[in-house]
Amino acid sequence: MSDVTPSGPVGRAAELAALAPRSAALSLAWPGIVENLIRVGAQTVFFAFVGHIGADELAAYGASVQYLFLLFPIWQSLSIGTIALVSRRMGSGEPEEAAVYARQSLLLGLALAVATGIIFAIFAEQLLLLFGTTTEVARIGAPYLRLSGGVNAVTTLLVIAMAALRGAGDTRSPFVITAVTAVISVPLGYVLLGTMGLIGVAIAWIVANGVGLAWTLALLVRGRAGLHLGREGWRLDVDRARTLLDISLPASGDQAAITLGVYLLGFLALRFGTGTYAAHNVVGQVESISFLPCIGFATAASVMVGQSLGMNDVHRADRAAWAAAQTAVLWTSLAGLAMVILAEPAMNAFTNDPRVVAAGVGALRVIGFGQPAQAINFVMGGALRGAGDTRFMMFATITNWFVVRLPVAILFGFVLGFGLTGLWLGIFVDYFVRSAILIWRFRSRAWARLRY
């Protein structure tokens, strides 16, 4: 560990410390909100592109994306660990230590990306068949999954490198880089989709993310927001890697539980047929637009809590998290109302298949009412992860998904016969149960006693 005596926040962290907690949270959140709007907007455009080709293509794309979602435990766990440790070290005035942790995270991410990439490259079609798709859907989706999953190191390293920037307090650079990658990926993907099929979409994302990765690493190597990654010291440090994994492994379990839950929910939706499964994917895509600002406020809460704990200012951490949560709830309440009122036009924007529209309208309206609780889940979860309280988050997620969400979804969807709307009723119930659990944990301030 570092022999440097903590001297107070440095770089961008010092600028944020001079602001009121609410102002600092908003300053961190708005670039993340726009960034996520751009990112999911690009993904939504691709869903629309593919959806208007046919139901089989949309199902193939959706099933492949579900499998790529299995990489989220790697992306998110290392991202969470990076933000928690980098933000705390920048808050305590130890930028060299922050850089060491960022390098360790990138090295671990590369190793895991290569290992998982081999699996996707070899078993893409078999994985889609295992998911329950038809042979034709698996044939259409396999090239996309094989390429996107096989070279996932590009995306994995990009996610971790951007997390290092955010931990240092720079949320604007990731926003700009994401905007440029979208400008590259959307037109390129549209052209390649028409000439090469789904594999063209994969090529577009890889090219765009490759540009983004090179740009992000260049910023970190030169130095950004007080964080200077440097060109030396790129070797595994056992002590720091252990500290990083102490936060990241429970976060990985947390994200793995979410990923498995999403997979199983998609598996259940597919039991209703290809058209209903396509509707399930569209509903999820529309909902993701609603909670995009929540991701920005969750990141702001993570960074503010981490930096505040580095400054030994628990009260500031508490105030910043609640300020972020209140603003997020306001946004999702309005977005949820729009989902309820405009459910049918929203479905029609993604598909011209009346069966898919009819299957998804009820589900979209149900989940619209749950958006305020979803905001609490994102922001309070971000605050707890920023404090390194990932073990509690893992147990909370396992409980929510496998004790509440999936059993209730099966009850409403299959036992009571509400179909896809019933599955999303299970999600709706879980949103409010989870928000109550996270509010209780945050108010306990047990997270403030953790030492990293």
Instruction: Express each pLDDT in 128-168 by its tens digit.
Output: 888 778 888 888 888 889 999 999 999 999 999 999 999 99
pLDDT digits (tens, 9 = 90+) for 391-442: 999 999 999 999 999 999 999 999 999 999 999 999 999 999 999 999 999 9
Q: Residue 285's pLDDT is what? A: 80
Q: Residue 6's pLDDT is what? A: 56
Q: Residue 1's pLDDT is what? A: 47
Q: Residue 5's pLDDT is what? A: 53
What is the share, in percent, of the chain residues with pLDDT greater than 70?
98
- pLDDT band at 383, cuts 50/70/90? very high
- pLDDT band at 197, cuts 50/70/90? confident
Across the range 85-99, mean pLDDT stands at 95
pLDDT digits (tens, 9 = 90+) for 26-73: 899 999 889 888 887 887 788 788 877 777 888 888 888 877 877 777
**Token pair belonging to 363:** 């589900």
Across the range 69-88, mean pLDDT stands at 86
Q: Residue 151's pLDDT is what? A: 92
Q: What is the mean pLDDT of the chain?
A: 90
**Lowest-pLDDT choice from 194-203, 281-290, 315-324:** 281-290
Domain boundaries defined on the chain: 19-449
Mean pLDDT is highest, among 64-73, 111-120, 188-197, 207-216, for: 207-216
Q: Residue 7's pLDDT is what? A: 66
